[in-house]
Amino acid sequence: MSCPICAEDSTAKYRPFCSRRCADVDLSKWMNGNYAIPSRDPEDIEAAADAAEAAQIAAQKPQ
Ligand SMILES: [Zn+2]
């Protein structure tokens, strides 16, 4: 099985993802309602991960 985000080998701890980072990216995509077929471009993955982190930080801030 490979990670659906970056296609690296998945790990048992974060399956089907390879890492917490990719699991967070996937979760954020679902939560934002804009899930799309993930790009294999490493720069896009980095951008998506950064966006996911920003979204999580924003979501944790009290209104
Ligand atoms: Zn991954």
57 annotated among ligand-binding-site residues: no
Give residue 23 CA to ligand 1 midpoint distance, Å. 7
Residues lining ion ligand 1 (Cβ < 5 A) are 3, 5-6, 8, 18, 22
22 in a known ligand binding site: yes
28 Cβ contact list (under 8 Å, min separation 6): 51, 52, 55, 56
**Ligand 1 centroid from CA 16, angstroms:** 9
In whole angstroms, what separates CA 47 from the centre of its chain? 10
Q: Tokens 């930080």 correspond to what residue? A: 57
CA dist 59 and 63 (Å) reads 9
Span 1-39, pLDDT tens digits: 899 999 999 999 999 999 999 999 988 888 776 655 555
CA-CA distances (angstroms) from residue 12 to 8, 28, 35, 49, 57? 13, 21, 23, 21, 26
Give the per-residue pLDDT at 14.
94
Its pTM surpasses 0.75: no
Average pLDDT over residues 47-53: 85
